[in-house]
Amino acid sequence: MIEWSAQHPRPLLRQPVNLAALAWLALGVLGALLASPLAPEGPIAADTTRSLLPPGPGGPLGTDLLGRGVLTRLLWGGRWTLGMGSLGLAIAVGLGLPTGLAAGFFGGHVEGVTMRLVDALLAFPGLLLAMAAVAVLGPGVISVAIAVGLAAAPAYARVARSAVLDVRAQPYVEAARALGGSEWRILARHVLPNAAAPLVAFAATQLGWILLNGAALTFLGLGAPPGTPDWGAMLNEGRGYLRDAPWVSGFPGLALTLTVLAANLLGDSLQKALRPH
């Protein structure tokens, strides 16, 4: 029937979902870092006698048109995709966090101007904004990372501002002010640490968004040079052989989905755990 009242959730790290998500992310990072010893042939080496073999005869995940192992390319591609995601996130946080903090903390004109700018940027659909940025910056995986980072920054600024506003209203901040601390000190010692939690949670969710849209850009052919094993680009490569060799697109898409899922689940759990009651 209908559950009218809430139940109490288990502690964060004890929930199997979160463990699984963390494990997958760790696996992804590890795989990317260890690509060289695990798949020493590299992502470019072709073997035309082994073209479009299914998983089994073609290695664990099959081969693509040029006979390259899909697993090999996934591992090497992890560097590109996860690297692009990390760089994008770094840019989003690096730009969004200070902006939002300043707006929330200093208020007044600072808040007015910056938040207007943020709203204007948020009016652009995220992917389209990223696409426009790539048009300006030119093709390349770094451009894609910068583009999605830029597109993600305004949302981050918004969240940062709300977090700061929440904390600023707390009694201990008033107390610190009354005791006569400088604004910067209060920001650094009281506001930031307490606002950190929702910011970290949002960062995890944003990572999902950045990966999704960054790979969308490479899928559309706007990023990497041909042959780059970025997961989005791999998805695009396999489109022509969907019927004969669905594994060429299938596995990169799966890897991408699981990674985004993991990021989202972690973000969700963190937000739930840290939400004030």
Partner 1 sequence: MKRLIPFLVLLSTLLAGCCDPLPPATPTATPLPFPSSGFTPTPIRLIYGLTLAPSGIDPHVNASSELGIPLTSVYDTLVYLDPESGEFVPGLAEDWDISEDEMAYTFYLRKGVTFHDGTPFDAEAVRFNLERITSPDLASQKARFMLGPYERTEVVDEYTVRIHLGEPFAPLLDSLSQVYLGMASPTAVEKWGSDYQLHQVGTGPFTFAEYVPQDYLLLRRNPDYAWGPKIYQHETALAEEIEFRFFADPATRSPALETGEAEIMGEIPPQDAVRLMESEDFIIEAVPIPGVSLMFFLNTTRAPLDDVDVRQALLYGTDRQAIVSTIFRDTSPVAYGPLAANTFGYEPAVRDYYAYDPTQAAALLDAAGWIDTDDDGIRDKDGEPLVLDMFLMSWGHMPEIGQLLAAQWAELGIGVNNQVVSYPEALEVAGEGRHHLIPFNLSGSDPDILRKFFHSEAGFNWSKLDDAEMDNWLEVAARTSDWEEREALYSQIQLRVMERGVAIPIRDYVNLNGASSQVEGLHFDAQGWFPWLIDVTVTEIQ
Partner 2 sequence: MIARYIGRRLIQAASVLWLAATLAFVAMKLTPGDPAQALLAASGATETEIAERRTQLGLDDPLPLQYARYLWSLAQGDLGQSWLHGRSVGQMILEQFPATAELAISAIIIGTALGLALGVLAALRRSTWLDTAATALAVIGLSTPTYWSGLLAILLFSLHLRWLPATGEGDPRHLLLPSLVLGCALSGSIARLVRARVVEIMEEPFVQAARARGIPPWRVLLVHVLRPALPTALTVVALQFGFLLGGAVVTESVFARRGLGKLAVEAILWRDLPVVRGVIVLGALVYVLVNLAADLAQAWLNPRLREELA
- Residues lying near partner 1 in the complex (CB under 8 A) are found at 44-46, 48, 51-52, 65-67, 139, 221, 225-227, 239-244
Nearest Cα neighbor of 229 from 9, 67, 75, 124 is: 75
How many binding residues for partner 2 (CB under 8 A)?
53
Please tell me the chain's helix, strand, coil percentages from 3-state DSSP, rounded to the nearest 5.
75, 0, 25
> In angstroms, rounded to a whole number, what is the distance separating the alpha carbons of residues 204 and 199?
9
With CB under 5 to 8 Å by kind, the binding choice for 198 among partner 1, partner 2, none is none
Among 136, 161, 170, 173, binds partner 2 (CB under 8 A): 136
Q: Could you give the 3-state DSSP secondary structure of residue 59?
A: strand
Q: Could you give the 3-state DSSP secondary structure of residue 63?
A: strand
Tell me the two tokens of residue 93.
């946080």
Q: Which is nearer to partner 1, 134 or 266 (CB)?
A: 134
Count of CA atoms in the C-beta half-sphere (13 A) of 214: 35
> In angstroms, rounded to a whole number, what is the distance separating the alpha carbons of residues 214 and 217?
5
> In angstroms, rounded to a whole number, what is the distance separating the alpha carbons of residues 167 and 161?
10
Provide the minimum distance between the beta carbon of 242 and partner 2 in the complex, in angstroms, as a whole number.
Answer: 5
Among 50, 107, 268, 274, binds partner 2 (CB under 8 A): 268
Mark 94-133 with x for binding to partner 2 (rule: CB under 8 A) and - for no binding: ----------------------xx-xxxxxxxxxxx-xxx
Tokens 């081969």 appear where? 63
Provide the minimum distance between the beta carbon of 44 and partner 1 in the complex, in angstroms, as a whole number.
Answer: 5
Provide the minimum distance between the beta carbon of 226 and partner 1 in the complex, in angstroms, as a whole number.
Answer: 4
Tell me the two tokens of residue 160.
């940062």
Q: Which is nearer to partner 2, 133 or 160 (CB)?
A: 133
Residues that bind partner 2 (CB under 8 A): 1-7, 116-117, 119-129, 131-136, 208, 212-213, 215-216, 219-222, 232, 235, 238-239, 242-243, 246, 249-250, 253-254, 256-257, 260-261, 264-265, 268
